[in-house]
């Protein structure tokens, strides 16, 4: 058989079981967690993965303010933003951004690994990031996922 069967959304939707996972980022490396989270959001861990469909799971990241980076990245890594006015570019180090908005570090890291289109924006909405150990998603019964 030389033809590859690709199921449509109508056939896949009843079969897809979307799960909720909790990832504890305490004392874990930012880059390693971000790559694993982006793969889970896209659904690359499932055998029915297709690049243009939303078959991934929901991810909750807790303790985002206690994430670690290796080397001198805490002082040398810079985050860029612009106010859209002339001369409105601003740079901020990892350490300064972590003290102000620790969630934004994970947002920028994971969003950069997702597709840059409608699908990527839809997948990004499935990511929930919190500074502390508590979160408001207990009704979804999330499973604790241990990442290395």
Global pTM value: 0.89
Q: Note down pLDDT in tens along the chain; length 148 residues.
A: 678 777 777 777 777 788 999 999 999 999 999 999 999 999 999 888 888 888 899 999 999 999 999 999 999 999 999 999 999 999 999 999 999 999 999 999 999 999 999 999 999 999 999 999 999 999 999 999 998 7
CB of 56 closer than 8 Å to CB of 119:
no
Domains of the chain listed by start with CATH number? 18-68+104-144 (3.90.1180.10)
Distances (CA, A) of 126 to 24, 55, 72, 88: 16, 11, 31, 31
What is the three-class DSSP state of 107?
helix
Pull the structure tokens for residue 78. 């810079």
Residue 80: per-residue pLDDT: 95
In a 13 Å sphere around the CA of 67, the CA atoms on its Cβ side amount to 34
């Amino acid at each position: 058989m030389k033809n590859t069967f690709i199921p449509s959304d109508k056939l896949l939707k009843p079969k897809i079981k979307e799960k909720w996972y909790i990832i504890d980022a305490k004392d874990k490396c930012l880059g390693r967690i971000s790559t694993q989270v982006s793969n889970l959001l896209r659904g690359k861990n499932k055998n029915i993965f297709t690049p243009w469909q939303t078959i991934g799971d929901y991810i909750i990241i807790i303790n985002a303010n206690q994430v670690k980076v290796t080397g001198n990245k805490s002082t040398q890594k810079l985050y860029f933003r612009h106010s859209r006015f002339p001369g409105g570019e601003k740079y901020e180090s990892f350490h300064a951004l972590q003290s102000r908005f620790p969630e934004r570090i994970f947002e920028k890291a994971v969003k950069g690994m997702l597709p840059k289109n409608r699908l990527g924006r839809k997948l990004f909405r499935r990511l929930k990031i919190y500074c502390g150990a508590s979160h408001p998603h207990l009704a979804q019964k999330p499973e604790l996922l241990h990442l290395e």
